[in-house]
Amino acid sequence: MMIAAVLLLLQAQKPEYVKMDDHDPNGIGYSYMGREMANYMSHEAAPWLDRPERYKEEAPQLLLEALNLKNGMVVADIGAGSGFLSFPMAVKVAPKGKVIAEEIQPEMLTIIEDKAKRNKITNVDRLLGTTEDPKLPANSVDLAIMVDVYHEFDKPYEMMSNILKGIKKGGQVVFVEYRKEDPRVPIKELHKMSEAQVKKEMSVFPVRWIRTSNILPRQHIIFFEKL
């Protein structure tokens, strides 16, 4: 009886996916909490993720500093792509820690495997997830980060529920999203998110907003703690 009541309560909390008649060509035609989800980026565009201009456009070294990573931490890089950030994060948490580079496209994981072999990096694990579940080991992660990824989830509620299962109590979940508030950020609209929208979508989960940093040229870094 009690379990049934809890299940009903959780079900009632889950926001709906709403089919859209008229939608953005860069979107999947479904909205969630007032936002249309974007199509995900194909592995064929992986070279774009590693473009040299990215260092100037996005200042990833500032992001790395802001994360305050320490030796021994376990970091989940959800939607790791070609591993552009997985490898520098792995250096920060070495020698005792590791990065779990998670993806839904096996081709991206092959790129990561090749880079790890070439550069003799042994603390980047690869993990193939689904669009609903990254399949992280339960309560194992200190910090889960999504860099330019969350807006591509086609099942954001399920993904976030499952990501949170993988994070330790008191661990962090970090969103790095292009600032929708800033019209000068030259990225397609559905691939940007406002801080208010991220907070709204996280309001249905047992997390606490910690802070938002705007030190990056184009993206917010939004930190939450798992309660």
Ligand X SMILES: C[S@@+](CC[C@H](N)C(=O)[O-])C[C@H]1O[C@@H](n2cnc3c(N)ncnc32)[C@H](O)[C@@H]1O
Quote the least distance from Cβ 154 to ligand X, whole Å.
7
92, 124 Cβ separation under 8 angstroms: no
Verify binding: residue 30, ligand X, rule CB under 6 A: no
At 118, is the secondary structure helix, strand, or coil?
A: helix
Quote the least distance from Cβ 9 to ligand X, whole Å.
25
Verify binding: residue 153, ligand X, rule CB under 6 A: yes
Quote the least distance from Cβ 128 to ligand X, whole Å.
9
Cα 84 to Cα 98: distance, rounded to the nearest angstrom: 15
Cα 128 to Cα 81: distance, rounded to the nearest angstrom: 12
Contact letters (x/-) for ligand X, 55-84, by CB under 6 A? -----------------------xxxx--x
- Interface pick for ligand X out of 69, 89, 108, 116 (rule CB under 6 A): 108
Place of tokens 């005792």: 96
- Interface pick for ligand X out of 93, 105, 207, 223 (rule CB under 6 A): 105
Verify binding: residue 40, ligand X, rule CB under 6 A: yes
Whole-angstrom CA distances from 188 to 12, 13, 24, 176, 183 are 33, 30, 10, 16, 10
Strand pairing of 141-147 and 74-78? parallel
Verify binding: residue 147, ligand X, rule CB under 6 A: yes
Residue 27 Ramachandran class (φ > 0 left, ψ -120 to 50 alpha, else beta): beta
165, 205 Cβ separation under 8 angstroms: no
Cα 120 to Cα 115: distance, rounded to the nearest angstrom: 8
Instruction: Pick the piece of the chain touching ligand X (CB under 6 A) from 2-10, 14-22, 98-106, 203-211.
Output: 98-106
Contact letters (x/-) for ligand X, 155-194, by CB under 6 A? ----x-----------------------------------
- Quick one: 78 or 193, whose CB is closer to ligand X? 78
Q: Residue 207 forms beta bridges with which residues?
A: 226
| Residues in contact with ligand X by the rule CB under 6 A | 40-41, 49, 78-81, 84-85, 102-105, 108, 129, 131, 134, 147-149, 152-153, 159
